Amino acid sequence: PCRYNSNTSTSPETITIEGKSYQKDSWHNLPPNITSSISRRLHVQKDHPISITRSIIESRFPSPTYAHHNTLFPIVSTYQNFDSLGFPLDHPGRSKTDTYYINASTVLRTHTSAHQADTFRANASEGFLISADVYRRDAIDRSHYPVFHQMEGARMWDRSKVLNGDIAKAVWADMEKLSKHGMKVEDPNPPTHEERNPLQSEHSLQEAEAIAAHLKRSLELVVVEIFTRAKQAALKADPSFIDEPLRVRWIEAYFPFTSPSWELEVFWQGDWLEVLGCGVVKQDLFKNADVPDQLGWAFGIGLERIAMLLFEIPDIRLFWSKDPRFLDQFKGVSEDLDKLRKFVPFSKYPACYKDVAFWLKSSSSAAGGGGMEMEFHENDVMEIVRDAAGDIVEDVSMTDSFVHPKTGRKSLCYRVNYRSLERTLTNEEANEVHERVRGALVEKLGVELR
């Protein structure tokens, strides 16, 4: 049970973000540290690694076939973010524990797919790319941050032309390019599967297969492009660098707005890393956008994930650093990609672990509590820690959980790992920050510290 967010004031207030005013209501859950990152626009900052990564991927999807949109506004309606894409009303992504709400019908976009329907409706080009900042309440660790960047891609064809041979020709040309690289692609599943990954009832198998082949080969070439650049950079740093053949794999996936759907994973540092989701666009989206005769694919790539592979950036927080020892390493790369170098960590400062253990309010005590009891959600802990301690939090993980046999009360213990990317934290400093975290947990979650 938790009280976080339940203390919203009853008189409506307004909030102004990027010059626009919004009415707050009981759904509002936007902390100040998130609001302040909206203006950073890392994906269009010259020589920023997110922006460099964006332009490398864009080079695989050139205009005018693909229109490039990089300045779409981050605040969207729940209709754009969810309903237009067919998210059911009870989808967990809609909950306040996962999404930042300005008010009941307005959110910070949780993905670039929020702009799909509008861009299909405008029908201004055969394809498009949308790069943008996206926002999610999420865990804290080295590859997750509540603000990150995605690139949406889509390509449409007049349905009558899908099987005229043009797509097949483009796919053959891509396959020829791919055959020159030693990439190992695993794709063990059939293109569609009746239960797990169904063909849409109004598509023929040939149509879906043509679209899927174009989609998969286009994205495999993106991976080749990124890793060729990464390899060149590695060779510059170490001429004896021996590259291993790159391994990627396609796995079946589910998204409410594509079918069939897939995710692409890359084998990296001993593990499979998910870099994108994609699929054949559901025909309903085209119908609702008044372009019912189009057929096509869409994908969504996590730009931080790709940038971490490309530059060997070890921690997602670094992208937000204003430290010249970080930013200066990418100077000039936007203009000349041959200047691309691996990131050289300027130093690894020591980590400092602190534990916090607390009793949750037991749900049976609701009678005396007065007011609504809310379910405890781990993302609340994550956000409270992030809000109280900022970017010196490297990760937060639960280390213990038990229920007292007599009282039935639940106890949790979390370990917070503090480490600055820019300097050594003193123990006093870490203690002080940790005290703030403890206080905030009591104040906002109503827990009892142990």
Q: Which among 113, 152, 112 has a CA at the least distance from the CA of 129?
A: 152
Token pair listed for 185 = 């692609």
Q: Which positions from 74 to 113 touch ligand FA5 by CB under 6 A, shown as an x/- string? A: -------------------------------------x-x
First to last CA, the chain: 17
Q: Which of 47, 98, 126, 138 binds ligand FA5 (CB under 6 A)?
A: 138
Distance of alpha carbon 450 from alpha carbon 448, whole angstroms: 6
Q: How far is the CB of 113 from ligand FA5 (least distance, A)?
A: 4
Question: Could you say whether residue 304 binds ligand FA5 (CB under 6 A)?
Answer: yes
Q: Which of 47, 83, 187, 274 binds ligand FA5 (CB under 6 A)?
A: 274
Cis peptide before 260 (omega within 30 of 0): yes
Give every CB contact of residue 222 below 8 A, 6+ residues apart in sequence. Answer: 57, 60, 301
- Calculate ∠ Cα 287-127-299, nearest 5°: 80
Token pair listed for 42 = 């890392």
Question: Could you say whether residue 137 binds ligand FA5 (CB under 6 A)?
Answer: no
Chain positions 254 to 293 lying near Mg ion, rule: CB under 5 A, are: 277
Half-sphere exposure of 217 (CA within 13 A, CB side): 19
Nearer to ligand FA5, 144 or 287 (CB): 144
Question: Could you say whether residue 150 binds ligand FA5 (CB under 6 A)?
Answer: yes
Nearer to ligand FA5, 136 or 217 (CB): 136
Q: How far is the CB of 318 from Mg ion (least distance, A)?
A: 22
Question: Could you say whether residue 144 binds ligand FA5 (CB under 6 A)?
Answer: yes
Q: Under rule CB under 5 A, how many of the chain's residues touch Mg ion?
A: 1
Q: How far is the CB of 112 from ligand FA5 (least distance, A)?
A: 7
Other CB atoms within a 10 A radius of the CB of residue 46 amount to 12
278 makes contact, choosing from Mg ion, ligand FA5, none, with CB < 5 to 8 Å by partner type, with ligand FA5
Q: What does DSSP assign to residue 149?
A: E
Q: How far is the CB of 359 from Mg ion (least distance, A)?
A: 34
Question: Could you say whether residue 295 binds ligand FA5 (CB under 6 A)?
Answer: no
Q: Which of 255, 311, 326, 358 binds ligand FA5 (CB under 6 A)?
A: 255
The H or E element containing residue 127 is: strand 127-135
CA distances from 43 to 224, 316, 330, 424 (A): 21, 14, 14, 29
Q: Report the interface residues with ligand FA5, using CB under 6 A.
A: 111, 113, 136, 138, 144-145, 148, 150, 152, 255, 258, 274-279, 298-300, 302, 304-305
Q: Report the interface residues with Mg ion, using CB under 5 A.
A: 277
